[in-house]
Structure 1
Amino acid sequence: MAETERPTHPASADDAWARTARHASRTTFFFDFDGVLSPITKKPGDSQPVAAVPAVLERLATKVGRVAIVSARPVDFLRDRFPTLTHVDFFGLYGLEMLHEGEVVTKPAALDYVEPMKALDAAARAAFHEPVEVEYKRLSVALHFRNCPERAAEVEQWAHERAEREGLKIQGGRMVVELKPPVNQDKGMVITETVRDSATAWYFGDDMSDIRAFDALRAREAADPGFFGMAIAVANNETGAEVSDAADLTLVSPEAVAKFINDGLNRF
């Protein structure tokens, strides 16, 4: 491949879209959900994609090789939010789940934690009431303190003590702490596995867990000079600075993500 086809970082949007158009059939787009396709909400169950997103993703899926949503949410949650999407893959719970041929496939190593997570959910609900929000995800339990940031230390201490006692992993995020099975799985690993046959890949994220996905794109570039990855941050006042520092470009909101994709597709 000619050196001129290897944009340097940070690449301009024009350069990245031009390369994507040239390699569309071997391009993959990845999106986080919360904060990227949906605004962050006070209650985690209230999150919905912005109005323009489903149609934009469906249009994108007809132009490139693959489109996937890679989220901390369970696959069933994503499927409920996108009932009309037929050409978009869902990776839930950082890749512990994926939607394959209409069925939710779970990483075998995580299945032993279904019952323990039910018990943990009950313990969390006994320990915390609103304004702390307890979110049960089948294979993890998230404790949201967005509505009571003054209780962050208390919630995080409880989570860390339970994780240590029960041999679980901790995942921090935007005003949330999550307890997960001790299974080696994160968003970066999803990207590493999925881009093996891609020439170009984009990842859109807004939180600390998304930086691992950015890193996976960089690692792929280092291993394969013919591969190009584009890391896009979505601005916020909680983790935005760190995520933007790791990205090539920053967009201001989920609405801006939908417009950016739609405008980019007009260049094909």
Structure 2
Amino acid sequence: MAETQRPIHPPSIADAWAVTAERAAETTFFFDFDGVLSPVTDDPDASQPVDAVPGVLESLAAAVRRVAIVSARPVSFLRSRFASLERVDLYGLYGLEVWHDGEVVTEPAALPWIPAMSDLAERARKELPAQILVEFKRLSVALHYRTAPQLAGEVERWGHEQAERHGLKIQGGRMVIELKPPVDQDKGMVITEAVRNARCGWYFGDDMSDIKAFDALRAREAVDPDFFGVAVAVANPETGAEVSIAADLTLESPDAVAAFLAEGLKTF
């Protein structure tokens, strides 16, 4: 189920769960969505969490201080997939949106960029080949070329031209590039703030943006040797090697993530 990429601390998965259970009241778990809780699909709107995920996340949230999903998806999308979860926080658009205690909070600095993002999505649909799926997320625009990988170069050139012309940030991913407002926010910043008062933190990710979250756990350990962090990669054919190298251990699929959590919960 799992393949260790480099020694974790403590040196076994059983020990990692034992430390986590001991510190449950001061532990936070974070998960990316696509590729971690759900298989990646050609049509982003068709993505659904694997069947076992909602139940195991709810059980985990009852056992530890906090569970959160940190995704490039908007909060509205995440809520549509996890409507039954009462204890799980949702960070959308790399943390520009947060669902917590029944409310959505949007980063104020990003709000003025909504019209520009809408215009950008319209231009992308007109100027890029029809095979490119343009996903408008209110505060960002994702350009998916999964069904037309031969167009990757054209999409990336267009995206970088738009980013330079309009002062936008660009984020690469698994067969996608995303254009975002020039607001200083990413998954690493979300995790840095979220683990500030924790003694244990886990992050599960599969893409390049998740490495910043792994780095945030490492940075927390560097300033507080008592903090225990575990970075978990989920294997994939596109970015899996790079993410696995940055992680403590690798799981093979979203189904394996759910099984790994269910097994770990037996420790509590």
TM-score by length of 2: 0.96
Residues of 2 paired with 1:110 and 1:13: CA distance? 40
Q: Distance in 2 between matches of 1:174 and 1:8?
A: 26
CA contact (8 A) 1:39 1:50 kept: yes
Contact 2:8 2:230 in 1 (8 A): no
More deviation, 108-117/96-105 = 96-105
Aligned to 1:235: 235
User: Deviation per CA, 1:44-86, whole angstroms, max 9, x where unpaired?
Assistant: 1111000000000000000000000000000010000101000
Q: Name the counterpart of 2:61.
A: 61
Map 1:182-221 to 2 at 5 A: 182-221=182-221
Paired residues of 2:8 and 2:249 also in contact (CA < 8 A): no
Equivalent position of 2:3 in the other structure: none
CA RMSD of aligned residues (A): 1.1
Match of residue 123 from structure 2: 123
What is the rounded CA distance, in whole Å, between the counterparts of 1:104 and 1:12 in structure 2?
Answer: 38
Counterpart amino acid of 2:80? D
The change in CA–CA distance for 1:11 and 1:230 in structure 2 (over 3 A counts) is farther
| 1:13 positional shift | 1.1
Q: Distance in 2 between matches of 1:240 and 1:30?
A: 18
Query: Mind listing any 5+ residue stretches in structure 2 that lack a counterpart?
Result: 1-6
Query: Structure 2: how far apart are the matches of 1:108 and 1:44?
Result: 27
Letter in 2 for 1:26: E
Contact 2:206 2:236 in 1 (8 A): yes
Deviation at 1:10, TM superposition (A): 7.3
Letter in 1 for 2:43: K
Tell me the residue number matched to 2:87.
87
Residue 150 (structure 1) aligned with residue 156 (structure 2)? no
1:244-255 maps to which residues of 2 (within 5 A)?
A: 244-255=244-255
Work out whether residues 9 and 16 of structure 2, in 8 Å CA contact, stay in contact via their aligned partners in 1. Answer: no
Give CA deviations for 1:127-157 in whole Å, capped at 9, x if unaligned: 2354211000000000000000000000000
Amino acid at match of 1:121: A
Q: Which residue of 2 aligns with 1:3?
A: none
- Identity rate, percent: 68
Aligned length in residues: 262
Task: Check the 8 A contact 1:10/1:249 in 2, yes or no.
Answer: no
Q: Partner of 2:19 in structure 1?
A: 19
Name the CA shift for 1:237/1:14 in 2 (closer, same or farther; >3 Å): same
TM-score, normalising length from structure 1?
0.96
Q: Which amino acid aligns with 2:249?
A: L
> Who is 2:32 aligned against?
32
Q: Is the 8 A contact 1:10 1:248 kept in 2?
A: no
**3-state SS of 2:193 partner:** helix
Structure 1 residue 88, shift from structure 2 partner: 0.1
Give the match's secondary structure for 2:63: coil
1:202-242 CA-partner distances (Å, limit 9, x unpaired): 00000000000000000000001110100000000100000
For the Cα contact (< 8 Å) 1:74–1:92, is it kept in 2?
yes
Q: 1:100, CA displacement in angstroms?
A: 2.6
Structural mapping, 1:161-200, within 5 Å = 161-200=161-200
Q: Which amino acid aligns with 2:50?
A: V
The whole-number CA distance in structure 2 between the counterparts of 1:70 and 1:48 is 16
2:68 is equivalent to residue 73 of structure 1: no
Amino acid at match of 1:44: P
Distance in 1 separating the partners of 2:187 and 2:152 = 25
Question: Conserved in 1, the CA contact under 8 Å of 2:8 and 2:248?
Answer: no
Q: CA deviation at 1:252?
A: 0.0
| Residues 234 and 251, structure 1, Cα contact 8 Å, conserved in 2 | yes
Q: Aligned equivalents of 1:165 and 1:194: distance in 2?
A: 34
CA distance in 2, matches of 1:79, 1:8: 33
CA displacement at 1:8 relative to structure 2: 5.3
AA aligned to 1:185 is Q
SS of the residue corresponding to residue 134 of structure 1 reads strand
Compare 97-106 and 226-235 and name the one that shifted more. Answer: 97-106
- 1:62 aligns to what SS in structure 2? helix
